[in-house]
Amino acid sequence: MQISTNMVSLVTKAIAESLDLHMIQFIAEQTIHNYDFHRQTGISNTINIPRAVAAKQFVRDARKEGLFLKLIQTLVDIHTSGYMGKNYPVKHLRPVIIELKNMGIIYDQTNRVFVEDSGIRRTKNWGTILPGEEHTFALLRLDIVGNSKLVREYPEEIIKKTYTDLRKIVQDATDKREGRIWSWEGDGGLIAFFFSNKNLYASLAGMDIINRLFVYNHTNCRLNKPLEVRIAVHSGIMEYVNNEEDLKSVDLVKKVVNIEANYTKPNTLTVSDMAMTVFGKHMLDQFSPTRGESSKTYYSYSVNWERTK
């Protein structure tokens, strides 16, 4: 992300005019591990560093290290929540946030993080998450049932068009809920949800896919039988990684894959107990309890024709 000179000056001014040297040191330590002002400025340890000099050096270093947004996030946290019971109103924060919005970065108040404006661009890390950072994600795993058999039984063109149709359904259900497709292979993929009500969004996306696929199978499916998928949703804390191969070794990813593979029926969505915790009664009524791993209760959702008597 390109940081303008005007933005650098604005943030430097906000820090220098709002915080004493002790608090500048605190936000520096929150942003850059083992940050040392004397080392970075070249000023002797016996000499006090002026606030303006400290602010200018720190902002420059944060920008250089790709941690500029993390710095602004820390300023917002201090401005809204204070520190050690004391308020620290940060000047010029509003124009900083407006400038970020003009750059395509918006503030998610629910999770108190900056993310990209999806109306401008969509990237796997929401434009702001750095590799190695720990966050809570809701993951949706989708797998096409019997993929290998389908590939053998149908012409390549039919399979390609059918899987393209599925991808479009998944993409639309994901984009409407600010999710990101982290990986997509021939037989399915992994989708992540990060901000706002991530568990609800992931589950609604799964329900949306199941619903649309039900209609697709009865109206537009090119196969001589319904296209079947298994979908699972699980949530938890993990370090963000931007390599698809590395994703496979992440515990949270392995967990959602296990739920999909071993506790989900064809054309069914299974939501783990962790992801279901925030649901209200109306949402819970759409699901049926099912036995999960280690006697845990998972929740399944599917669509079928209503039988008439």
- DSSP per-residue letters across 42-54: ---TTSPPPHHHH
What separation in angstroms does the CA of 153 have from each of 52, 94, 149?
70, 60, 6
Residues 116-134 pLDDT 10s: 888 888 999 998 888 998 9
**What would the pLDDT profile of 69-93 be if each residue is shown by its tens digit?**
989 999 999 998 888 888 989 999 9
The SS3 assignment for 197 reads coil
pLDDT of residue 307: 59
What does the pLDDT read at residue 85?
84
pLDDT exceeds 60 at position 308: no
**Residue ranges in 19-92 assigned as alpha helix (H):** 21-31, 37-41, 51-64, 68-81
Question: Is the separation of the CB atoms in 139 and 189 below 8 Å?
Answer: no
CA separation for the pair 15, 75 (Å, rounded)? 8
CB 116 within 8 A of CB 128: yes
Half-sphere exposure of 216 (CA within 13 A, CB side): 24
Check whether 162 has a pLDDT greater than 70: yes
Name the pLDDT band for 239 (thresholds 50, 70, 90). very high
pTM above 0.85, yes or no: no
pLDDT of residue 109: 77
Q: What does the block give as tokens for 301?
A: 């959702």
Model pLDDT, residue 215:
96
Determine contact, residues 89/79, Cβ cutoff 8 Å.
yes
End-to-end CA distance of the chain: give it in Å, rounded.
Answer: 61
CA-wise closest residue to 223 among 284, 286, 161: 161
Length of the chain: 309
SS3 181: strand
